[in-house]
């Protein structure tokens, strides 16, 4: 069951509410609309898939850092995956249990590692200098840090190069030929480091689960080697990366259960605790960006729908050439001509598009237009370019109440950066 559906009368609904009614009542600017029940359903599909395994679902906070969403996921039983000191502070504010949190990254700062050491989250070791910093942070905090080695498995995830992370030439993780150096370094620091597991993350938008199995086979071999040297390690972290159906094509894509089932036997064979780090597959399909049509124009051979949303609110199409499905919120008048449009924003550059070559009925000014699957890496990557302030966020609750879960940024917020200078 998915939260956003188009009914036969041509209206878009979310959790039984007509989206047009919401567009008519909330503020006149682009906004994000989430389904809270869909977040719960997505989490439950992971939880059910993991039955019979000891596991941590570490939600990748970078995908969407709305505090209300984090609190909801935490209450459902989620852990958190963090990539900066601020994400760590946010996760603590949202009440996450530090023993279910993982601090990741190829350039973690000493001050952030000190906070990580104080709070007792797991920390991934990414490089020689990173290990030095973790040791230093452990000494400053007076704590032993539980670490996982982030191994670069050199598996091709078959995705856009910007979101591939586990191949040989990527900036993340350690190469297998250096593994011994790291094991020796951990052995040399018994008062600072406790090795508890191994981690890998292959990339994002992965739509073939075989790729996860290939990586898990390699990782379990590394774990065998590490255990052979006397380390008692219990955790295999296979990262995040499961893709979703951005095209709304009806294609059957792997589910969380398919993902977990491809690694289940391996994990059980070595008596490991499994950590997974989903971001997109937990949150992307729970949300649309709601825009209004400013006008329609034609230049050369191109037709354009100009909307109030833009690359500032949602940069994935501009940055990765990503496809996100676009629909009108309400049916067009019967005589509206169906044309091929580029859907563009008001930002002053040609990279500013939300969709290219989309067949849509010529909309009237003010008509509502949604960009689907906007829950992951959209609001969290929004900017204030052209001083388009970051949009507000709303969600529909279980009882059908539409509640604001984040204020929209204002011009006054911007001016505050200059007070007293
Ligand atoms: N774990 C690690 C170490 C990661 O680097 C990432 C994402 C995740 C987990 C979560 O991956 P997910 O399940 O969300 O695929 N901005 C890009 C995506 C960048 C992903 C970065 N790493 C986009 O909009 O497609």
What is the per-residue pLDDT across 380-395, written as a single tens digit (0 to 9) for each?
999 999 999 999 999 9
**H-helix or E-strand spanning residue 261:** helix 256-269
pLDDT at residue 296 in the model: 98
Beta-bridge partner residues of 125: 149
- Whole-number pLDDT of residue 310: 98
Q: Report the alpha-carbon distance of residue 161 to residue 295 in Å, rounded.
A: 35
Please give the number of the atom of ligand 1 that sits closest to the Cα of 378: 24
Measured CA to CA, the distance from residue 219 to residue 198 in angstroms comes to: 7
Residue 166 clears pLDDT 80, i.e. is over it? no
pLDDT at 203: 92
How many degrees, rounded to 5, is the angle at CA 218 between CA 272 and CA 128? 90
The average confidence (pLDDT) of the chain is 96
Please state whether beta strands 338-344 and 393-396 pair in parallel, antiparallel, or not at all (unpaired): unpaired
Give the torsion sign (CA, 403, 31, 281, 58). negative
pLDDT at 1 over 80: no
Strand partners, 147: 123, 195
pLDDT, average across residues 36-56? 98
Backbone angles phi, psi at 159, to 5 degrees: -135, 180
pLDDT level of residue 178 (50, 70, 90 thresholds): very high
Average of pLDDT values for 271-290? Answer: 98
The ligand 1 site (C-beta within 6 Å) comprises 60, 63, 81, 104, 163, 165, 201, 204-205, 239-242, 277-281, 316, 320, 376-377
**279-289: average pLDDT:** 98
In angstroms, the CA 216 to CA 213 distance is 5
Q: Ligand 1: which of 277, 282, 318, 319 to mutate, most ligand atoms within 8 Å of CB?
A: 277
Angle at 253 between CA 259 and CA 36, to 5 degrees: 85
Instruction: Give residue-wise pLDDT tens across range 304-360.
Output: 999 999 999 999 999 999 999 999 999 999 999 999 999 999 999 999 999 999 999
User: Facing residues of 341 across strands?
Assistant: 303, 358
288 catalytic residue (yes or no): no
For the segment 74-112, what is each residue's pLDDT rounded down to a tens digit?
A: 999 999 999 999 999 999 999 999 999 999 999 999 999
CB atoms within 10 A of CB 201: 26
Query: What's the rounded Cα separation, in Å, for the pair 87 and 81?
Result: 9
Assigned token pair, 47 = 């939880």
């Amino acid at each position: 069951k998915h939260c956003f559906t188009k009914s036969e009368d041509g209206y878009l609904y979310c959790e039984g509410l007509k989206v047009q009614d919401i567009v008519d009542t909330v503020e006149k600017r682009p906004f994000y609309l989430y389904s809270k029940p869909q977040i719960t359903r997505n989490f439950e599909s992971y939880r059910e898939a993991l039955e019979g395994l000891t596991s941590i679902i570490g939600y990748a906070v970078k995908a969407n850092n709305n505090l209300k969403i984090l609190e909801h996921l935490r209450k459902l039983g989620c852990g958190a995956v963090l990539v900066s000191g601020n994400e760590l502070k946010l996760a603590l504010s949202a009440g996450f249990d530090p023993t279910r949190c993982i601090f990741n990254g190829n350039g973690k700062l000493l001050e952030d590692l000190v906070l990580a050491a104080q709070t007792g989250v797991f920390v991934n070791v990414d490089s020689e200098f990173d290990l030095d910093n973790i040791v230093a942070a452990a000494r400053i905090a007076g704590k032993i840090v539980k670490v996982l080695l982030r191994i670069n498995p050199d598996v091709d995830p078959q995705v856009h190069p910007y979101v591939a992370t586990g191949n040989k030439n990527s900036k993340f993780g350690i190469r297998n030929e250096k593994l011994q150096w790291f094991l020796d370094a951990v052995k040399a620091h018994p008062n600072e480091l406790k090795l508890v597991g191994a981690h890998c993350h292959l990339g994002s938008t992965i739509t073939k689960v075989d790729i996860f199995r290939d990586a898990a086979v390699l990782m379990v071999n590394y774990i065998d080697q590490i255990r052979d040297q006397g380390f008692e390690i219990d955790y295999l972290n296979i990262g995040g990366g499961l893709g979703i159906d951005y095209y709304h094509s009806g294609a059957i894509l792997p589910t969380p259960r398919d993902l977990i089932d491809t690694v289940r036997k391996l994990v059980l064979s070595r008596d490991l605790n499994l950590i997974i780090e989903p971001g997109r597959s937990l949150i992307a399909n729970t949300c649309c960006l709601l825009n209004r049509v400013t006008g329609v124009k034609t230049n050369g051979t191109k037709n354009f729908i100009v909307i109030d949303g833009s690359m500032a609110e949602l940069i994935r199409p501009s940055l990765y050439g990503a496809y996100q499905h676009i629909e009108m919120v309400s049916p067009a008048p019967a005589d509206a001509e169906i044309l091929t449009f580029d859907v563009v924003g008001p930002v002053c550059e040609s990279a500013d598009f939300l969709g290219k070559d989309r067949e849509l009925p010529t909309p009237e000014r003010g008509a509502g237009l949604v960009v689907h699957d906007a829950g992951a890496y959209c609001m969290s990557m929004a900017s204030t370019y052209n001083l388009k302030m970051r949009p507000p966020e709303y969600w529909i609750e279980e009882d059908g109440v539409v509640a604001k879960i984040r204020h929209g940024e204002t011009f006054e917020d911007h001016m505050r950066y200059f007070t007293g200078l």
